[in-house]
Structure 1
Amino acid sequence: MNQFWGVDADPTAQGRIKGARPVAVLDIGSNSVRLVVYERHARALTPLYNEKASCALGRGIAKSGRLADANVAQALEAIKRFALVTRMMRVGKVYVLATSAVRDAANREAFVTAVEAIIDSPVQVLTGEQEAHFAGLGVVAGIPDFDGIVGDLGGGSLELSRIIDGSDREGESFELGVIRLQDDSDGSPTKAAALVRDRLRKSALAQQKPGGSFAAIGGTWRTLAKLHQVQRDYPLQMVQHYKVPADDMIKLCTDIVEHGSLKHYPGAENASSSRRELVPFGAAVISEVLKAGEFNEVVFSALGVREGYLFGMLDNRERALDPLIQGAEELSVLRSRSPSHANDLMEFTDQFFAVSGTVETETDKRLRIVSCLLADIGWRAHPDYRGSQSIDAVAFGGLTGVDHPGRAFLAMVIAVRYNGLKTKGITQPLLGLASPEGTARARLIGALFRVAYPITAAMPGILQRIGLAADGNELQLVLPRDLAFLDAEHLRNRFEQFVGLTEFKTSRVRVQ
């Protein structure tokens, strides 16, 4: 069989960023050992490979002071596989981070030596303060405007850090990991809640000004977010940037703690089998933290210590980049017919907002720029499915730096761009997450895209020569004389449809 690539050739696919060198983080936690390989070390991280092994290294360590031999053997076997993966994927650099269980173990040196021999990279055993620091940076990496307290719940410990203006100011570590709590409370979530209250009493959290936002990191807490989504019949099954009023989360967690386990609990089938027995202890921790801090809301983050560690290594210029725009630029490069056409779309939509006097906030403009970058990512699909597949790529993709209403906004723009204004039946519950104002603006931008594409066929250079002008209540599309033949029924109909969404009363295509 003929192939475009040979066995000995570079395995990098054409659908990956050209010249990107993968970077990996091996995270050795108290509950699981996880390898994540990212496409490249950048502001917006794209996972190439993500696998975990549940090894429970933290089990029993509070009493024995040692990593159990059976659990160590299980972890080392998993790490052998992960080492093979990094070699096959030609990873440039592997960073190995170990947290609470390894940190507290009397036999940590022997374990660290064994890991380093397998993975051929040094192991950095993080202190509790370092773990809190990188967890805080992980939240900033995915939610750049977050201000508040970050909590990272693992199997052995809970780390808290305060984020102000994109930097962490202080960090604390507590022996409140879910495995440790399960052991210390003899398997009672109610007793665990009392232990949490006692251990948090002297924390800086208890001394802070009450209120604000709490960012939750960790697999057990992500499971709680998913349970909350299931109970609400929430249309976007994505944890990253999912916001919940604190009182709602306290109510859910109190119910789970009183229930004692997830057995027969509504939505429990959505929790992984390795997490299920730990969820009530995670519920005990977050409910007590939210009460102690008197927080207003919880925002869940899928990015944590791994991403924060890589974010912290970037220089100031790279850290200042917008992860949403960088991620959208990458998608445009990989999937658009002509990525540079997005710049023409930005200028064309700029014209409309200038001519119409429509006010845009910085947030509005940022989402419009991202919409332009994503406007042509669905062209390879069958025409009947370009809209729905593009919506899924935007709404359910790995973009960070955007909240759920923002995802709904971007999805609405794409829905209109491909399917027109009749978007009923296209992931309608998801599209409803945007505000009424956001929905109207998204429909406007999508309709303007529908004017642009028949003119340009997604190629750059032409749209720059097309003008928009206002004459009283009339909006005009201005064509140069050598392009007068573009003034056809199809274009006029689309322009008229677009103008119907604006404040203008009439439309006209004019040649000059």
Structure 2
Amino acid sequence: MSSNRRIGIIDIGSNSIRLVIYEINSLQAYRVIGEFKQSARLSQRINSDNTLSREDIQSIVAILKQFQRICTANQVEEIRAAATAAIRNAANSQQIISELQEYSGIRVELLSGEDEARIGFLGMIHSLDIPDGILIDIGGGSTEVSLFRQRKLVRSVSFPFGAVNTTRRFSADGDFSEEKLLSIRQMVREAIGGERWITEHPGLPMIGLGGTIRSLCKINQKKHKYSLPLTHNYPMSAEDMAELMSWLPSLPAEKRKKVDGLSKDRFDIIVPGLTILDTLFKESGCSHYVISGAGLRDGLFQEAYLTDNSAIGMSMPERSARNMLALHSCSPMAHLEQVASSALTLFDALQQTHGYDARARQCLHIAALLYRIGVSMTYYQFSKHSFYMIAHSRLDGLTHRETVLCAAIASYKAKSRVQQLYAQFKDVLLETDIDVIVKLGSLLQLAIAMDSSETQVLPVRSAAVTLDKELDITVQTQNDPSIEYKEIAALNKDFKKIWGLKLTLLDASSFSTN
């Protein structure tokens, strides 16, 4: 095996038991290389005396042993396992933890409700660029609610109800009458009554973790035929969720199995989960929903294994892009850094012309760093691969629109292609984004041309728009820049058409070239 390090994270939840395998390379870049899941429904297995039987404990042991074999096959060096509400709330929780370790050989941490909220928040806050909000994690046996302000955790509470144990309490067959739904709402309202801070911050977004809200997101995306298959950072309006709240409970349990986007192992527990979510949303006065694809397992990994401080000071999208680059090395970093630097210099010089904001500048920066990422697939037609890889990767801190913008700018060739992309992603992009992509794509193409040889022979010193409608770019030639001059000359006509400006190079060294 290479110097890459592999870590297994096991989450023993109340609904399912999951294994995620992470790989960390020598550059401290990381990725998920495998996910495995077994349904457990532990919250439904708790006996009348609030204990988990020896037989049920052994069923967990069997899953842990299976996961251990998977880890061995994948050359995993370390395993971190954690148990949540179902085991935490069991009267024999310490016996369960002891027997799991004795019979599986895996040490299992028993997370408190406070731990679960904190670690879930840690996973979310490292992947979403949201300053303030209410965080909701609806699991099988508990619901964690947290308030965060200025990206800091302020308050949190763990309620002893989730999608699985609420189903068990209120419905044996997965069907829910209006009376049962009202009872679930009353249960949630009574719990909130002891935590009034939940209702004292109206207008914040509600950030959702866990299988319940991810499933609701997928149903919504399927219904609207959403063009981008990403759930992370997907926004949902109060109206969208209210529509699901009026529709899903009205379906018989058997019909719910056929709902597009809803996995068959959730057909019976989705309605209680949705009702808990909807009640919390209304009582807290939140503005809208945002789905987080990162949560407890991400937090468990980050807390224990991410110790690299080199990304301090970077924006979240840049950190995520550089992580992606370190996983798919395909071009000299000196070249990518120069292309990014030149592109941003051009963007700033043209600020009065284009009027784009700092987020657009950030998209150009990310596109410049990742424009050659597709070479890791194959060099030929790499821009198509770059588009796919960028558009379908989780670039933390970017909205879905910004993710597609980055992919389109990085792979820009001609306006006709941009119009085709807009037609494909009409539900994600704005019509005005056609112009944004063309303009910023042309700037990136110029920045790439200025280091065509990838040897940094033509660094940009400055750029400015003149009264004569020229873009004067001051460079300092080093060695032979003939390849660069040829590529720049080929772009001059299109650049003038797009920007209404003539390109002029001013050489700050011993001679000048136009």
TM-score (normalised: structure 2): 0.86
Match of 1:181 in 2: 166
Q: Counterpart of 1:331?
A: 324
Task: Give the partner amino acid of 1:100.
Answer: A
SS at match of 2:425: helix
Residues 44 and 443 (structure 1), Cα distance of their counterparts in 2 relative to 1, 3 Å cut:
farther
Does the aligned pair in 2 maintain the 1:477–1:509 contact within 8 Å?
A: yes
> After superposition, what is the alpha-carbon deviation per residue over 1:26-83, rounded to whole angstroms, capped at 9, x for unaligned?
1000111111121239997521221111111111427441225554333222211211
* Offset of residue 434 of structure 1: 3.4
The 1:142–1:279 alpha-carbon spacing in structure 2 relative to 1, beyond 3 Å, is same
Shift of 1:20: 4.0
Mapped partners of 1:355, 1:370: distance in 2: 19
Residue 443 (1) aligns with residue 443 (2): no
Identify the match of residue 348 of structure 1 among 338, 342, 346.
342
Q: Which residue is 2:429 aligned to?
A: 434
Amino acid at match of 1:483: P
2:208–2:289: 8 Å Cα contact kept in structure 1?
Answer: yes
1:497 to 487, 494, 501: 494
Which residues in structure 2 correspond to 1:90-239 (within 5 Å)? Answer: 90-117=75-102, 120-186=105-171, 187-189=174-176, 190=178, 191-201=180-190, 202=193, 203-204=195-196, 206-239=198-231
| In structure 1, C-alpha distance between the alignment counterparts of 2:360 and 2:55, rounded to whole Å | 54
Residues 259 and 432 (structure 1), Cα distance of their counterparts in 2 relative to 1, 3 Å cut: closer
Q: 1:439 to 1:121 in 2, by over 3 A?
A: farther
Contact 2:214 2:291 in 1 (8 A): yes
In structure 1, give the amino acid aligned to 2:323. Answer: E
Partner letter of residue 443 of structure 2?
L
**Is this contact kept in 2: 1:477–1:508, CA < 8 A?**
yes
Cα distance in 2 for partners of 1:146, 1:44 equals 25
What's the Cα RMSD here?
A: 3.1
* Cα distance in structure 2, aligned partners of 1:402 and 1:367: 9
Say if 1:323 and 1:24 are closer, same or farther in 2 by CA, change over 3 A. farther
Query: Quick one: distance in 2 between partners of 1:320 and 1:396?
Result: 26
Q: Return the alpha-carbon distance in structure 2 between the equivalents of residues 188 and 455 of structure 1.
A: 65
Contact 2:129 2:396 in 1 (8 A): no
Match of 1:28 in 2: 12
CA deviations on 1:334-365 (whole Å, 9 max, x unpaired) are: 24222321110122113213332445644333
- Amino acid across the alignment from 1:167: K
Identical amino acids, percent of aligned pairs: 20
* Separation of aligned partners in 2, 1:116 and 1:460: 56
Superposed CA deviations along residues 400-434 of structure 1, whole A, max 9, x for unmatched, are 222211112112112315x6653343474337623
> Which among 355, 360, 368 is matched to residue 364 of structure 2?
368
Higher alpha-carbon deviation: 467-476 or 477-486: 477-486
2: CA distance between counterparts of 1:299 and 1:444? 30
Conserved 8 A contact 1:456-1:462: yes
Within 5 Å, which residues of 2 pair with 1:327-476? 327-333=320-326, 334-358=328-352, 361-379=357-375, 381=377, 385-417=381-413, 422-426=417-421, 428-430=423-425, 433-436=428-431, 439-457=434-452, 459-464=454-459, 468-472=463-467, 473-476=469-472
User: Is residue 2:304 matched to residue 1:305?
Assistant: no
Alpha carbons of structure 1 residues 478 and 153: separation in structure 2 relative to 1, 3 Å: same
Distance 2:247 2:237 in 1: 16
**Residues 1:287 and 2:309 are matched in the alignment:** no
Change (3 A) 1:486 1:188: closer
Q: What SS does structure 2 have at the residue aligned with 1:456?
A: coil
Deviations 1:200-238 (A, max 9, x none): 331335532322100111112201100011111211121
Give deviations 1:148-171, integer Å, cap 9, x for gaps. Answer: 110101111111011111121111
Q: Secondary structure at the match of 2:459?
A: helix
Contact 2:20 2:35 in 1 (8 A): yes
Preserved CA contact (<8 Å) 1:250 1:290: no
Q: How far did 1:329 drift?
A: 1.3
CA-to-aligned-CA distance 1:287-322 (integer Å, 9 cap, x gap): 212111121110001111122234445679567654
Stretch of structure 1 that moved more, 295-304 or 103-112: 103-112
Report the count of equivalent residues.
492
Q: Deviations over 1:477-504 (max 9, x none)?
A: 567495356544x6434233134333x4
Aligned to 1:274: 265
* Paired residues for 1:54-93 under 5 Å: 54-61=39-46, 63-93=48-78
Find the aligned partners of 1:370 and 1:240 in 2 and give their Cα distance: 18
Aligned match for 2:481, one of 480, 483, 487: 483
The DSSP-based 3-state class of the residue aligned with 1:46 is strand
Tell me, in whole angstroms, the C-alpha distance in 2 between the residues paired with 1:335 and 1:89.
22
Contact 2:375–2:385 (CA under 8 A) maintained in structure 1: no
- State the SS of the aligned residue for 1:346: helix
> If the length of structure 1 is used for normalisation, what is the TM-score?
0.86
The answer to whether the Cα contact below 8 Å between 1:261 and 1:280 also exists between their aligned partners in 2 is no
